[in-house]
Amino acid sequence: MSARQGKAARLTLGLVLLLALLAAVGLFSLTTGARAITAETVWQALIAFDPTSTEHRIVWDLRLPRTIVGLLVGSALGLAGAVLQGATRNPLADPSILGVNAGAALAVVLGVAFLGMSQLSTYVWLAFIGAGAAMLVVYSVASLGREGATPVKLALAGAAITAVLQSVINAILLTSPRTLDEVRFWQVGSLAGRSIDVVLQVAPFLATGTVLALATARLLDGLSMGDDVARALGQRIRLSRGLAGLSAVILAGAGTAAAGPIAFVGLTIPHVARAITGPGYRWILPYSMVMAPILLLGADVIGRVIAPPGEVQVGIVTAFVGAPFFIALVRRRKLAAL
């Protein structure tokens, strides 16, 4: 067996182990909450549902949709973060840092406040529009000047645009109690209260974005070597970045519509995946796709048990996990540049 085949075998085994871990975290998500439910009861609820059983109804009506949404949104955010980091060659790229999540959130808040929209099916389209517009604005601002859209300028432009968009969101919510009541839990980032209808409405978009993102793996490998090298290899730079950006917008838009703006998942997971797999996006993307829902569901489970009888929203837990990682990443890159 060659070294390349041996590495592929090890990475395949690692992916299988991560899938097993994901299944275990999913089981914890189904059994853990204000009311503990045994794994045996969960299994009985799944294979032989009894509508007269309170525990069975909790599993089917509350925890199963919540877990599936966590799986889908986590995978979407992990993939979106990995694609954005590859397409922009920016290790700090992430749907939340580059303003994509904030743009999607603002579009939804505007739709609720001024158009009276309250259905998830409209949230999805609004989130797409907002995410795409925010990404275009951030990239346009970062492209100003001689050096173009450098990684540092993208991060700074994203932070600035995110701050502006968040200020507009807060202003609307403070002046419109109805809008605040409609989106307050969604705005924090939460998996609670999601029904199976949410899964059915966002799944087609997430499936489309996932297929498109995985198909860009070879393009991202080319972009990671620099524009000149990629161009010499016959790659069309703008088209490659456009396809990658489109997949990230679809994934982040649908994910934000389903669970609200959840930060740092798309930032942290691709770095962990890259540390395990190396620089090839053929492996970074599937690893990010599996590891991100492990983090998101794990954070959701932690949020359910740390403040009984209530719970802490998953967006808050992921921020506590991701913020120190972000600071450490920035400090490491700053030291490396000295």
Domains contained in the chain, CATH given = 3-337 (1.10.3470.10)
Residues 297/29, Cβ–Cβ less than 8 Å = yes
Task: Please compute, for residue 59, the number of CA atoms within 13 A of its CA located in the half-sphere on the CB side.
Answer: 26
Q: Name the pTM for this structure.
A: 0.87
Q: Output the six-digit token pair for 179.
A: 């809008």
Burial 39-49 (b: 16+ CB within 10 A, else e): eebbebbeeee
* Cα 140-150-335 angle, rounded to 5 deg: 145
d(CA 41, CA 54): 11
Q: Output the six-digit token pair for 110.
A: 């505007």
* Cα 126-131-133 angle, rounded to 5 deg: 95
Question: Which residue in 287, 319, 313 sits closest to 301, CA to CA?
Answer: 313
Q: How far lies 117's CA from each of 26, 112, 125, 183, in Å?
A: 32, 5, 11, 11
d(CA 294, CA 21): 8
List phi, psi (to 5°) of 69. -60, -40
Residues 287/234, Cβ–Cβ less than 8 Å = no
Q: Please provide the size of the chain in residues.
A: 338
Per-residue pLDDT tens listing for the chain (338 residues): 677 778 888 999 999 999 999 999 999 999 988 788 888 999 998 888 888 888 999 989 889 999 999 999 999 999 999 998 888 887 777 888 788 888 988 988 898 888 877 666 677 788 888 888 888 888 888 878 776 666 677 778 888 998 999 899 989 888 888 887 777 767 778 888 788 888 888 899 899 999 999 999 988 888 877 777 778 877 888 788 888 888 988 898 888 888 888 888 888 899 889 989 988 899 999 999 999 999 999 999 998 888 777 788 888 888 887 777 767 766 665 434 33
Instruction: Please report the pLDDT score of residue 335 as a whole number.
Output: 38
Instruction: Please report the pLDDT score of residue 91 as a whole number.
Output: 79
Instruction: Please report the pLDDT score of residue 337 as a whole number.
Output: 39
Q: How far lies 30's CA from each of 47, 56, 235, 265, in Å?
A: 14, 11, 45, 21
Residue 60 per-residue DSSP state: I
Question: Which residue in 215, 292, 266 sits closest to 18, CA to CA?
Answer: 292
Instruction: Please report the pLDDT score of residue 334 as a whole number.
Output: 47
Distance of CA 117 to the CA centre of its chain: 24
Radius of gyration in angstroms for the set of CA atoms belonging to the chain, rounded to a whole number: 20
Instruction: Please report the pLDDT score of residue 135 as a whole number.
Output: 84
